[in-house]
Amino acid sequence: MKLARTLAAGAALMSAAGIEASGRLAPKPDWSTHDMPSQEGRIVLVTGGTSGMGYEDALALSRAGAEVIIAARNPERGAEAIARIRESVPDAKVQFEAVDLASLASVRGLAERLNERLPRLDVLVNNAAIMAPPERGISADGFELQLATNYLGHFALTGLLVPLLRESPDARVVSLSSIAAARGSLNFDDLQAERQYDPYGSYAQSKLAILHWVFALQRRSEAAGWGIRSIAAHPGVAVTELIARGPGLNSEFGRQWAEDRDAYHSAAQGALPTLYAATAPEAVGGAYYGPTGDEERRGPLGFARTPPAATDEADAERLWTLSEQLTGVTYP
């Protein structure tokens, strides 16, 4: 089956149930980085900001005047990303912090450094991800690698940075899901895919977990008065390095992707839902933003359709409790 058909089938399973868009101000369909308000004085952390959409986030936010911290695994790629940003934005306030989201010790180390030196954190963009490695990988803590990198690492990092976020007058946590979440399910009996590993199934599960967590975090923020907007976004299908670093360009999936890539949009376009959620005054806590055309693979910005599975609050609470147990991070 062509990738386009697979994505279309996934989109067909989506529903507008869950996060209700009615009565909320929808984004301007042609919203772009030109519509971003000044980010002067804002402190932003972007995970996975050395390439792809994370890099585009860091570039656009630097251009808007924010102090940007790129957090990623490879310091050399971090230095290259910072040099590229400064070529476009000579006065950019951008720096690199090393973190491996698949290591809870590394996540704790980053959180400790930031809590020691930052007065606050205004925006946390949970962008880093891996997609469908052919063989089941294991994190430093023994978790399935996609769940660890895409979800558990971000769950832990965000929890550890809640004190800094609460110091901001307009705190936002923007977490990246995917249209693949519509094909996902939470397999609590084999969450780590120890019995059976399906690369794409595990990826979809990790992105569904992110949606559950985003909505649960918003409920907690509202109930406890944290003042944090928790927002989900997805890029549609953008041309990035995710395929090359995951299933590989020579895989069946990679070949199908290459055949259809002219139908997808750029990393800069894919970053727009995230940038809207991170900067637009009217962005709604608990909402889900993404492209609205072409089965949400690309198109005008708007409210994304939420998979019905992501609206099950019982599953969300079960996942939250389990995530605290697995990571050892309890939100304050």
Structural tokens at position 274: 């995230």
| Separation of alpha carbons 210 and 191, rounded Å | 14
Kindly give the pairing relationship between strand 288-293 and strand 123-126: unpaired
Q: Copy the structure tokens of residue 329.
A: 């991070």
Angle in degrees, CA 230, 233, 235, rounded to 5: 165
Among candidate residues 55, 197, 200, 203, the one labeled active-site is 203
Report CA-CA distances (Å) from 232 to 17, 80, 142, 148, 283.
Answer: 15, 28, 27, 18, 11
The radius of gyration computed from the CA coordinates of the chain, to the nearest angstrom, equals 18
Rounded to the nearest 5 degrees, what angle is found at the Cα of 244, between the Cα atoms of 177 and 190?
A: 50
Identify which of 292, 143, 306 has the alpha carbon closest to the alpha carbon of residue 218.
Answer: 306
Cα 323 from Cα 318, distance rounded (Å): 9
Interacting residues of 162 by C-beta distance below 8 A, sequence separation 6+: 226, 228, 331, 332
Give the phi and the psi of residue 43 in degrees, each rounded to 5: -110, 125
Question: Which candidate, 234, 231, 218, 236, places its Cα nearest to that of 281?
Answer: 231
Q: Does the active-site annotation cover 203?
A: yes
Distance CA 10, CA 110 (A): 36
Can you read off the two tokens belonging to residue 88? 């476009």
228-233 β-sheet, strand order: 93-98, 67-72, 43-47, 123-126, 171-176, 228-233, 288-293, 298-303
Phi, psi of 94 (to 5 degrees): -130, 140
Active site (catalytic) residues: 203
